[in-house]
Amino acid sequence: MDNLKTYDMKAQEQIRLDVLKRSRLFGGLLPAELKDLIVYSTSVRYDKGASIFKEGDRADFFYAVQEGLVKLYKGTFSGKHFTFTVAGPSDTLNATAVSGDNYFMSAQALNEVVLLRIGRTPYLAFLSKHHTVALELIAMLARRLNRECDRVVGLLGEDVEHRLLISLFTLARKFGTSLSLTREELASCAGTTTETAIRVLSRLKKQGIISGTAERGGIIITDLTKLQKLVAENEGWI
Amino acid sequence: MDNLKTYDMKAQEQIRLDVLKRSRLFGGLLPAELKDLIVYSTSVRYDKGASIFKEGDRADFFYAVQEGLVKLYKGTFSGKHFTFTVAGPSDTLNATAVSGDNYFMSAQALNEVVLLRIGRTPYLAFLSKHHTVALELIAMLARRLNRECDRVVGLLGEDVEHRLLISLFTLARKFGTSLSLTREELASCAGTTTETAIRVLSRLKKQGIISGTAERGGIIITDLTKLQKLVAENEGWI
DNA sequence: CGCCTGATTGATAAGTATCAAGGTCGGTGG
DNA sequence: CCACCGACCTTGATACTTATCAATCAGGCG
């Protein structure tokens, strides 16, 4: 019994180690080095729709996705919200919350989710010990900053239809052509309303780019090449 | 003659040292430490309207503002452009360009400008030598990322009038109530057109928040308190 | 003085949000 | 097993915000 438990622990730790090893932030480290960090990690489960943390909360934990999808978003005053990114396995949720004591976005489980969780203190201690991780963090931050600036320009310069195309293409590249997102969730990725997103999707269906109705709460992209062509049409490249 | 020249050099170096000392990135360092970096610095002058660097250029230099104002912006496909920030004395232009070999925004002199310039190589070498600077850089990046995300939400949730109010208030807090920006430049800070900016300004003039016509290419804020109240009205706080 | 840049105002049109009204599917409980 | 309920999807009509186009004005500078 005791043996079995120990074995389980080992297996769990191995899984979490793999998650970190595959992440961009820690990918450069040796497993041996990561072990120091894994000791402080736990796995936590969230039901579909559950809130993981909210903008403004004290950032007590660092998270990485083990299984499932997590939506990272910010709310607007008018009750709507904009989805900045959908995180999948081995994505970190808040690597950037290092400095700043509070989360600056909210995170919500899109389906049944398992997260790897590490306390703020051991996480920060580990960061300051490993120079290369700090450098990778700078690179990640710079990339994301760059991306958000592009998004600002995109919101001003492109019409809703094109923003939706970009969102679809980005999601497809990351998660494959079979997306389990509701129209509402897709809309919030492109910064528009559910109705407008639906109208655009209807048009795409007529052009044979996305499939019939897919199952409830899903979008299937049937012609990725054509989608890519449409995305590339109006811009240098994102 | 030779003495005078040496003296001049010293004075120039002292000025540049003050610029860096007052910057957020290097503010935590001792003058003695900064001297190692100053050695590699030069002062460069740009005329009003001159382009300092363009998005996509190889990032060969690090810049900080010594005198004058610099617009940091990105262009949209439709030829317009969005101004992310106006940098003043002791602001750094591209601290973030560390990782990534290219500038990801463009910079243009808003008036007669003097910049402190340091080659990429000595700048990077200095960074990797000074741990505290790297940490401050992470903090700066995180702050800016946060701000840009807020901007995304703002662009989606707030109407043009309010965005202009915010831009005005932000500029006033940084540069004082007498702004030398054309209506076009203000518009590009809020992501709108010149005409729309003018219409809003006309309304503000009627409410006594900004002054008569100011001089050509200028805006004078006469009632900062009222402006602040208007800004605070529609939102938690930016 | 005439040109050129920036400011101003008005009319118009386009793009989207908003409101309203079904329609469809799947799951749940009687 | 069936019926209902609720979540999601869909479509249409309308209104509003803001960009666009066009025209004029005002002041500085060569």
A75-128 pLDDT, tens digit per residue, is 988 888 999 999 999 999 998 766 678 999 999 999 999 999 999 999 999 988
Choose between A19 and B133: higher pLDDT: A19
The residue range of the domain holding B52 is 2-152
Distance from CA of B234 to the nearest CA of A (A): 8
* The last residue of a domain, from among A88, A118, A152: A152
Does residue A138 sit at the B interface (CB-CB below 8 Å)? yes
Task: Say if residue A91 is exposed, middle or buried (CB neighbours under 10 Å; 0-12, 13-18, 19+).
Answer: buried
Q: What is the pTM of this model?
A: 0.92
Sign of CA dihedral B52, B54, B60, B62: positive
Q: Is residue B164 part of a domain?
A: yes
- Looking at the fold, whether A103 and A217 belong to one and the same domain comes out as no
Q: Is residue B106 part of a domain?
A: yes
Is A52's pLDDT higher than 80? yes
**d(CA B216, C1' C1) / Å:** 21
CB A109 within 8 Å of CB A67: no
pLDDT value of residue A128: 85
Sign of CA dihedral A183, A184, A185, A186: positive
Q: For chain B, what is the domain count?
A: 2
- Looking at the fold, whether B90 and B125 belong to one and the same domain comes out as yes
d(CA B98, CA B86): 20
d(CA A88, CA A109): 10
Residues by CB within 7 A of strand D: list them.
A 182-184, 194-195, 198-199, 201-202, 213, 216-217; B 78, 80, 159-161, 191-193, 195-196, 215-216
Ordered per-residue pLDDT tens for chain B, 238 residues: 555 556 677 888 999 999 999 999 999 999 999 999 999 999 999 999 999 999 999 999 999 999 999 999 999 888 889 999 999 999 999 987 666 789 999 999 999 999 999 999 999 999 888 988 888 898 899 999 999 999 999 999 999 999 999 999 999 999 999 999 999 999 999 999 999 999 999 999 999 999 866 567 789 999 999 999 999 876 644 4
Pairing of strands A61-67, A113-119: antiparallel
Q: What is the CATH number of the domain that holds B181?
A: 1.10.10.10
* The last residue of a domain, from among A119, A152, A185: A152
Distance from CA of A9 to the nearest CA of B (A): 35
d(CA A96, CA A214): 36
Residue of chain B minimizing CA distance to A142: B96
